[in-house]
Amino acid sequence: MLIYEGKGKKLYQAEQSGYVLAEFKDDLTAFNALKKGEERGKGELNCLISQVLFELLQTHGIETHYIKLVENHIMLCKKMKMIPLEVVVRNIATGSLSKRLGIDEGRPLPFALVEFYYKDDKLGDPLLNDEHCLILGAVKSQEVLETLRESGKKINTILSEYFLEKDLVLVDFKLEFGFDEQGEIVLGDELSPDNLRLWDKHTGKKLDKDVFRQDLGDVKSAYEEVLGRIKGERK
């Protein structure tokens, strides 16, 4: 039974209660779905990349919703009550940060910046400060925001070091968290080039959804390159 369909995934009730099957779609959207496309095999690539990264985070003690891979484009996950925030962590200025604040694209930030955006397509996912998050009831307390901020920074440290070993610079990324059935805050959603910006360490070549957003070339081969590097299949 389909319980939710988003822009990148479909969620089905799994046989066992308390679990869902996340099916990764081939659809590509950008700019709040103003730009649309499809890339056969993209869902599978994102699912396999997410698998590796969720497993990596779990070995570092980060709780995630990931349980196991079921098919190359489907993973079994814990069912969660999602927090309606996009937690964005940035190491280098680009994208909406450069646009909003006029910071030169590619400028390293003096510290990892954590931002909260309200997950609401009708409003265009606006940037929120802590008080906005509380007034909107996106979270119940400041303490939850601190947990999300700290978790975002910890994940950033783990992923940045990991990608650097693959000659990839983690520029920025978006996380989504939820509460599991025990009421614990757990990392959900996906970890793929759809929501991580990755630049080649030597050439600066973009290997993420910006290839689609900015029409820079073949999206699938960029995502294949990322999977190849994290699987150690390079050179």
Spatial contact of 36 and 29, defined as CB atoms under 8 Å apart: yes
Q: Provide, rounded to whole angstroms, the least separation between the CB of residue 156 and ligand TMP.
A: 12
Alpha carbon separation from 84 to 30, 42, 80, 117 (Å, rounded): 19, 25, 12, 9
Name, in order, each residue with C-beta under 8 angstroms of 48's C-beta and a sequence gap of 6 or more: 69, 72, 227
Q: Is the dihedral of CA 169, 174, 180, 184 positive or negative?
A: positive
Rule CB under 6 A: say whether 135 interacts with ligand ASP. Answer: no
Rule CB under 6 A: say whether 160 interacts with ligand TMP. Answer: no
User: Residues 204-232, buried b or exposed e (16+ Cβ, 10 A)?
Assistant: eebbbbbbbbeeeeebbebbbbbbebbee
Tally Cβ neighbours within 10 Å of residue 180. Answer: 16
**Identified binder of ligand ASP from the candidate list 4, 5, 18, 32, rule CB under 6 A:** 32
By CB under 6 A, how many residues form the interface with ligand TMP? 11
Rule CB under 6 A: say whether 33 interacts with ligand ASP. Answer: yes
Chain positions 111 to 150 lying near ligand TMP, rule: CB under 6 A, are 125
Q: Provide, rounded to whole angstroms, the least separation between the CB of residue 208 and ligand TMP.
A: 7
Nearer to ligand ASP, 14 or 187 (CB): 187
**Identified binder of ligand ASP from the candidate list 30, 69, 113, 227, rule CB under 6 A:** 30
Q: Provide, rounded to whole angstroms, the least separation between the CB of residue 183 and ligand TMP.
A: 26
Determine the interface stretch with ligand ASP among 29-37, 54-62, 109-117, 162-170 (rule: CB under 6 A). Answer: 29-37
